[in-house]
Structure 1
Amino acid sequence: MYNYQKSAEAVLIQRAKRGDIKAFSELYSRIYVELYRFALYTLKHPQEAEDAVSDTVMAAYEKISGLKKEESFRSWIFTILSNHCKSQFQKRRQADELDEDYPAEESDYSVSQDVKRAFWNLDEEERLIVSFSVFGGYQSDEIGQMLKMNPTTVRSRKKRALEKMRVVLQGVEV
């Protein structure tokens, strides 16, 4: 059944690349929950997550004709989403720095910001692996397929990325 779903998705991607809006809508409906979950875990604000997913879908629709490999669709769209989330996070951080009235000692907010900073200190590949695994719930073999990596490589890079985050977070007083 998995191969059937994969081949059906590949057909939809090919049709979407030719400008078929119904095919793109079907792709969107298949991946929306995963995209939203990823954005919500990353941004922690439902409205910002919805905005990031909407921006991602618009950008993906505009650029899908340039997608070189159909099997890379999921990693491609998650990369777009990751970049949008990073942009949103940076805008929010700048706004927080300018807002002097915002309470600086809110523990939950502070911890959340520390985790996000540790996450964004990872390089792009590490962020994708951690995001797919932790936020998206994907297994190493699935991540490997999306990123064209050996599952063992995915596991070792995930472990290394989580260790980097742990080291950063240990240096932060919580």
Structure 2
Amino acid sequence: MNIDREELVRQAKRGKAEAFAALYEDIYMDLYRFAFYTLKQPQDAEDAVSETVTTAFEKIRTLKKAEAFKSWMFQILVNQCRKKLNRKSRDQELKLEKEPYSETDPSLPLSLREAFGQLSGQERMMIALSVFGGYRSNEIGEQMQLPAATVRSKMSRAYGKLRKFLGEEESK
């Protein structure tokens, strides 16, 4: 029996855990990839996804449109990642910070994962939403409460940083 997503959402809203699990199973890898590339640590990513799923299951009745399930889950995940990044930032202020990236770093070029880790939390979140969530700048802006033009310019700068970290020349 093939049940469509809208029916699964209706069932999940009535408290059927199996329906919620089927919905979650369909998007788990996208959620995890986003969290991992945003937070840089597998354990933090797993925690963020786990907290997202718990929150979503508890609040599934508040979901207004069944077709918005994936973006609703990503919005919850964005908020979880923000909390973790803010917590990390506060913790790092109390510790000695590592020396930031410098252009004279002899270990260049970095791998893509390492380069991604050099971006700010906001930059990682924007690019991850675009790459792993498939969101456009206006949708990312809505989720991050920023104008779409700001998202586009920040993402452009972030992609430029990635190219620089990876040792690729900017083509003009």
- TM-score with structure 2 length normalisation? 0.68
1:54 aligned to which of 37, 50, 57: 50
Deviations 1:23-53 (A, max 9, x none): 0111111111111011001011000000000
SS of the equivalent of 2:120 reads helix
* Larger helix share, 1 or 2: 1
Aligned to 1:31: 27
Show the counterpart of 2:131: 134
8 A contact 1:118–1:165 mirrored in 2: no
Match of 1:119 in 2: 123
1:159 pairs with 2:164: no
Q: List per-residue Cα deviations over 1:62-94 (Å, max 9, x = no partner).
A: 000011110111111100000100110111111
Equivalents in 1 of 2:98, 2:72: separation in Å?
A: 38
Distance 1:105 1:132 in 2: 25
Contact map agreement 2:37 2:117 (CA 8 A) in 1:
no
Q: Name the amino acid aligned to 1:135.
A: F
Q: Does 1:84 align with 2:80?
A: yes
- Gap regions ≥5 residues in structure 1: 150-154, 170-174
Matches of 1:111 and 1:90, distance apart in 2: 21
* Counterpart-to-counterpart distance in 2, 1:139 and 1:55: 22
**What's the Cα RMSD here?**
3.7
| Paired residues for 1:90-101 under 5 Å | 90-100=86-96
Counterpart of 1:104?
Answer: 99
TM-score if structure 1 supplies the norm length? 0.67
State the secondary structure of the residue aligned to 2:64. Answer: coil
Contact 1:56–1:77 (Cα < 8 Å) also in 2:
yes
Amino acid at match of 2:11: R
Q: 2:69 aligns with which of 61, 66, 73?
A: 73
DSSP 3-state at the match of 1:115: coil
Unaligned runs of 5+ in 2: 143-147, 162-172
Q: Could you say which residue in structure 2 is the equivalent of 1:14?
A: 10
Q: Percent identity?
A: 36
